[in-house]
């Protein structure tokens, strides 16, 4: 399980300090981030691979604590305000988000691109900030939106910035998730991103997450060791892959360095 800031998965065998029940409860909450906003116990059991009796106990407890609400007509659950309060507390206290905003606004204005700041959650990246150029309505990424690590520039930037050991853990997890048919193509994209990162300091996703979107990503390392990812994105008809690679991505790398220099 990973913290929002991107710590490595931690579930060591026979760890007496590890609370299995808490881990399962959080897995139940995470199930609601996989597309559906309302789920029954059977849906949650399928998504989490937990036994249905365990899921029933978890949803009952989480409802009592205010993290889920129950719809008696549909006989299903949805996230409640308790989860929102936790998420808001994290985002509102994220100092880098506040300090980076004016820099991101200027970059968005100058390049006419959406600029995002993301953190890792398991094999996804989550938006904690998104800034748009003036009068723009495209690529508005809501705070809390999750993107796959495998094919996005944000995820690739994070993947390339971590240690070799952490990268292997991520690669093994993605290989298991996507299976032998999809994984080779995904791994090829990650390897290509690693080559770009080593040579230029940025990663690209040109139509690989969304065929109509070109984006670049760079890591941002905070003083506490947390790695986040800064991205810029635009429809491919506005920003070509060539312009992104030859000019804008380099500017994004400089922006990432500027944010790191803020000392957060």
Are 218 and 254 in the same domain? yes
235 and 208 part of one domain: yes
Structure confidence at residue 186 as a pLDDT band (50, 70, 90): very high
Pair (56, 145) in one structural domain = no
- pLDDT tens digits for 199-226? 999 999 999 999 999 999 999 999 889 9
Q: Residue 98 maps to which CATH number?
A: 3.30.450.40
Domain residues for the domain of 162 are 94-260
If you average pLDDT over residues 120-148, what whole number do you get? 84
In the chain, where do the E strands start and end? 68-71, 76-79, 114-121, 124-131, 146-148, 203-206, 213-221, 227-235
Tally of domains within the chain? 2
- What's the mean per-residue pLDDT of the chain? 89
Q: Which residue has the higher pLDDT, 35 or 39?
A: 39
d(CA 125, CA 158) in angstroms, rounded, equals 9
Distances (CA, A) of 125 to 32, 94, 121, 133, 196: 16, 16, 6, 22, 20
Q: Looking at 82-96, 106-120, 127-141, which range is the least confident one?
A: 82-96
pLDDT, tens digit, 9 for 90 and up, residues 79-88: 887 886 777 6
Res 1: pLDDT: 39
Residue 9 lies in a domain: no
């Amino acid at each position: 399980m990973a913290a929002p800031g991107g710590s490595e998965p931690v579930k060591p065998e026979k760890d007496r300090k590890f609370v299995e029940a808490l881990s399962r409860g959080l897995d139940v909450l995470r199930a609601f981030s996989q597309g559906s906003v309302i789920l029954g116990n059977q849906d949650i059991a399928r998504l989490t691979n937990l036994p249905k009796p365990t899921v029933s106990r978890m949803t009952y407890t989480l409802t009592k604590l205010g993290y889920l609400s129950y719809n008696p007509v549909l006989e299903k659950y949805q996230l409640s305000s308790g989860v929102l309060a936790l998420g808001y507390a994290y985002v509102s206290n994220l100092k880098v988000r506040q300090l980076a905003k004016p820099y991101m606004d200027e970059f968005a204005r100058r390049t006419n691109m959406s600029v995002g700041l993301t953190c890792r959650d398991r094999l996804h990246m989550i938006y904690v900030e998104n800034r748009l150029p003036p009068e723009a309505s495209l690529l508005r990424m809501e705070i809390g939106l999750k993107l796959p690590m495998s094919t996005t520039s944000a995820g690739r930037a994070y993947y390339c910035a971590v240690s070799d050991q952490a990268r292997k853990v991520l690669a093994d997890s993605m290989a298991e998730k996507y299976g032998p048919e999809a994984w080779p193509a995904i791994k090829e994209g990650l390897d290509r991103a690693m080559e770009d990162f080593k040579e230029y300091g940025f990663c690209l996703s040109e139509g690989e997450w969304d065929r109509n979107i070109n984006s670049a990503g760079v890591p941002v390392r905070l003083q506490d060791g947390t790695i986040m990812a800064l991205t810029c994105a635009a429809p491919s008809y506005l920003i070509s892959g060539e312009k992104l690679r030859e000019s804008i991505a380099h500017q994004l790398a400089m922006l990432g360095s500027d944010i790191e220099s803020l000392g957060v």
